[in-house]
Amino acid sequence: MSEALVVGLVSISDRASAGVYEDQGIPALQDWLGSALTTPWRAETRLIADDRESIENTLVELVDRAGCHLVLTTGGTGPAPRDVTPEATLAVADKEMPGFGEEMRRISLNFVPTAILSRQVAVIRKQALIINLPGQPKSIRETLEGVRDADGNVRHVGIFAAVPYCIDLIGGPYAETDPAVIKAFRPKSAIRPQA
């Protein structure tokens, strides 16, 4: 039996963390991952304020102590003064993965011109990939899954297509996806036969 993928899900919101309104980021991520992943996984969830020290500490804790292979954050990536998720993420990084941020903005530009204001980043810390996602559930799904036409055909592949292979490369467990949601891409030499 293969090792379960451990995914940290971090919703970054002053108001949701204070109980002003219900967080929608973590449930949206759990629902999407539940439909996309076909191999064993479990989530470590955290709801925190838009505070750089809290974000940095949470990311370090999820990777270094909780053993997450993938950490997905939602919220805090815009230009407002309280939006410090990218700075906190870069501060705990060993390597930056700029292609993820570039592609997330390109996907979101299919829907809104303000996507260019997003500052999402992705990094490697030790054995984990950390990705800053948008704050809205609809945008989270579009970014991960991609853009589909009226017939449901993929017009623009989502970023999650590259995530399982990235996790392979940094020493994490082999994760499979449901191709109807998102087809994980791996070079032929990296594809394992299904058990």
Averaged over 39-48, what is the pLDDT? 97
63, 75, 87 from 93: Cα distances, Å: 11, 18, 10
List, for residues 141-176, the tens digit of each pLDDT value: 999 999 988 998 889 999 999 999 999 999 999 999
pLDDT band at 49 (very low <50, low <70, confident <90, very high): very high
pLDDT on residue 146: 94
Does residue 80 sit within a domain?
yes
Averaged over 118-122, what is the pLDDT? 97
Number of neighbours of residue 183 by Cβ within 10 angstroms: 15
Does residue 94 sit within a domain?
yes
pLDDT on residue 2: 64
Does residue 50 sit within a domain?
yes
Q: Does residue 147 or residue 195 have the better pLDDT?
A: 147
CATH of the domain at 144: 3.40.980.10
**Taking 60 as the threshold, does the pLDDT of residue 1 lie above it?**
no
In sequence order, the 6+-apart residues with CB closer than 8 A to the CB of 1 are 40
Calpha distance 46→54 (Å, rounded): 11
pLDDT on residue 173: 97
**Taking 70 as the threshold, does the pLDDT of residue 12 lie above it?**
yes
Residue 1's Cβ-count burial label (10 Å; 0-12, 13-18, 19+) is: exposed
Does residue 195 sit within a domain?
no
Does residue 38 sit within a domain?
yes
pLDDT on residue 61: 98
- C-alpha torsion 165→118→138→83, nearest 10: 100
Range of the domain at 118: 5-190
DSSP bridge partners of 71: 8, 130
Number of domains present in the structure of the chain: 1
Does residue 136 sit within a domain?
yes
In sequence order, the 6+-apart residues with CB closer than 8 A to the CB of 17 are 11, 23, 47, 48, 49
64, 82, 165, 183 from 170: Cα distances, Å: 14, 32, 9, 20
Does residue 168 sit within a domain?
yes
20, 22, 133, 162 from 153: Cα distances, Å: 38, 33, 23, 19
Q: β-strands 5-12, 41-48: how paired?
A: parallel
Does residue 49 sit within a domain?
yes
- Are the C-beta atoms of 160 and 170 separated by less than 8 Å? no
